[in-house]
């Protein structure tokens, strides 16, 4: 059963949001790269690739249901940040915006009684919970690392603990899995 044109159009808009998030993360990564903070830049380069993969999931879904992919114009991301905290706060704000749009898509799929689309979106709902938690935790770490060498402390933290250090301990392999 093909999805409605309204839902396909909304999914195409989401492709643009996911690609926009990817561009934002490249911009944030280059901010940290320019500051010689390789762990933070690597973290955001990986996030950029993950957002691109999310966009491609929507592309595949649209193709699978016989729709037409129409990628919208992607707005240029913010390029300058007042500092590390502002860059990470922008990432969290972006994730919260993506979450709202995913929720809107889920409500639309429910309204259209499109169970294929609704089940597809369940993965994104879980993913957004994880993304918001990760960015929120990273922002807390950056906020605690105040002072001239604060971001160097975050680099050290990520070096020794890895990117998983900012993920919820209740997640896979965390406290619940112990």
Going from the C-alpha of 33 to that of each of 12, 39, 84, 129, the distances in angstroms are 31, 9, 11, 27
Q: What is d(CA 51, CA 36) in angstroms, rounded to the nearest whole number?
A: 24
Task: Break the chain into its structural domains and give their ranges.
Answer: 5-177
| Whether the predicted pLDDT of 168 surpasses 80 | no
- With cut-offs at 50, 70 and 90, classify the pLDDT of residue 145: confident
Give tens-digit pLDDT for 98-109. Answer: 999 999 999 999
- Range name among 54-63, 139-148, 166-175 with the lowest pLDDT average: 166-175
Domain 5-177 falls in which CATH fold?
Ferritin (1.20.1260)
pTM of the model as a whole: 0.86
């Amino acid at each position: 059963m093909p999805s409605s044109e309204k839902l396909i159009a909304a999914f195409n808009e989401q492709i643009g949001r996911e690609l926009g998030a990817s561009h934002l993360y490249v911009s944030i990564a280059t901010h940290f790269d320019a500051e010689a903070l390789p762990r933070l830049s690597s973290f955001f380069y990986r996030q950029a690739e993950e957002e691109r993969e999310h966009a491609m999931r929507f592309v595949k879904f649209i193709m699978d249901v016989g729709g037409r992919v129409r990628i919208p114009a992607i707005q240029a991301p913010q390029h300058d940040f007042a500092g590390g905290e502002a860059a990470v706060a922008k990432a969290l704000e972006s994730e919260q915006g993506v979450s709202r749009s995913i929720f809107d898509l889920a409500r639309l799929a429910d309204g259209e009684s499109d169970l294929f689309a609704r089940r597809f979106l369940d993965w994104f709902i879980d993913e957004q919970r994880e993304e918001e938690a990760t960015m929120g935790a990273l922002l807390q770490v950056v906020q605690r690392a105040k002072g001239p060498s604060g971001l160097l402390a975050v680099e050290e933290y990520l070096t020794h603990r890895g990117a998983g250090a900012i993920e919820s301990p209740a997640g896979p392999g965390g406290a619940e899995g112990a």
